[in-house]
Amino acid sequence: RHGNIVACALANKLARVVWAIIAKGGDYRPQPRAVN
């Protein structure tokens, strides 16, 4: 079950990157991460 969640999260991230590249013509900037 845990592996399935990780795979789904990675697929979601990849899909967002691909969508951003297609929609914005290659201008993709990931959101800044919170630094602990």
Q: Which residue has the tokens 């900037």?
A: 29
CA dihedral 20, 13, 31, 22 (to 10 degrees): -10
Tens-place pLDDT, residues 1-36: 778 888 898 999 998 888 877 777 655 566 666 665
Q: What is the pLDDT of residue 31?
A: 65
What's the CA gap between 23 and 33, in Å, rounded?
23
Tally of structural domains, the chain? 1
